[in-house]
Amino acid sequence: MIIFHYIMFPQKLITHNGTFHADEVFAIAILEKLIGKPLEITRTRDPQLLEEGVNDLTTFVVDVGLAYEPEKYNFDHHQDRYMKSAAGLVWQSFGAEVCGGSADAAGLVQESLIDLVDQTDTNQNNILMTMKNHLPGGVDGTVSGLIGAFNRETDDVEEQMQQFRKAISFAATFLENSLYEVALIVAQKPIWDARQMLKPNVVRLESHCKGWKRWAAHESNIQFCLIPRTSLNKEIEGQQWQITSIDAVENPLPTLEEMQATVSQPEAIEFAHKARFLAVFNNEQTALEVVNQLL
């Protein structure tokens, strides 16, 4: 971990001109969140300006400059194909600070937002082809594609700079939403920590826990979760319970008909999704009877 000794972060930033991408856009959104105000941005590939910027401790240099020296505020990755993108490098240095010192929150933002920007920008594991084959529109529908859509003709420098600023604002909104979400998830983590294991692959929670799937993803043995929920049906009194499958393709819940045939109160099955990832019950006893069916 790099320790930053400077009282004040740079207020200026250099990045490349021309077509912009999600990685430098998000990197700048992160840095502006860090310092609490817009940066003075220069977009250039001028070798002299880049050399001066790389050696200037009062300037961030992002996604250009061929130097990764976080202690000098240089965050380029193009000199090494295996490095994170500019967004990933900046988040690696400042993510926890942006998250108020919470390593858990920083890790969750990285998983939900930064990693996707990283992998798309650097085409890790040929992810662009995977997107092309499995996502309608390929990368265009991802956050990287949405950021890229802000680009205009690169020979109109003024318009392109305006669009660049719009893209940064757009990315900042994504970042703010992610920070809000993970703050709630981290705050409710004690609920997950107090979980009860009903079976080696089935966990029970005492109350609703936002983001429980994020924590469950770190424990490969957990396949199902039993969670209490407030009924959306006004005719139902008391608390309902739901069983959720983390991966319904690999570990589907029983069908509605299978559950009805094996529980003592089939009428207590409020809902069973046809995709077999969710079932809702009007009492815990019926839910537990279904849990006993799970392998």
Taking alpha carbons only, the member of 14, 33, 6 closest to residue 106 is: 33
State the pTM of this model. 0.85
Q: Given 125, 153, 187, which residue is the final one in a domain?
A: 187
State what percent of residues in the chain have pLDDT above 70.
98
pLDDT digits (tens, 9 = 90+) for 153-193: 999 999 999 999 999 999 999 999 999 999 999 999 999 99
pLDDT digits (tens, 9 = 90+) for 189-223: 999 999 999 999 999 999 999 989 989 988 999 99
The identity of residue 159, as a single letter, is E
Q: Residue 233: pLDDT above 80?
A: no
pLDDT digits (tens, 9 = 90+) for 7-32: 589 999 999 999 999 999 999 999 99
Three-state SS at 114 = helix
Q: Given 141, 162, 187, which residue is the final one in a domain?
A: 187
Taking alpha carbons only, the member of 51, 80, 86, 85 closest to residue 65 is: 51
pLDDT digits (tens, 9 = 90+) for 234-243: 777 778 999 9
Q: How far apart are CA 107 and CA 86, in angstroms?
A: 17
Together in a domain, 89 and 26: yes
Instruction: Judge whether 155 lies within some domain.
Output: yes
Together in a domain, 39 and 172: yes
pLDDT digits (tens, 9 = 90+) for 145-154: 999 999 999 9
Instruction: Judge whether 6 lies within some domain.
Output: no
pLDDT digits (tens, 9 = 90+) for 84-115: 999 999 999 999 999 999 999 999 999 999 99
Instruction: Judge whether 176 lies within some domain.
Output: yes
pLDDT of residue 161: 98
Q: Residue 3: pLDDT above 70?
A: no
Q: How far apart are CA 229 and CA 241, in angstroms?
A: 6
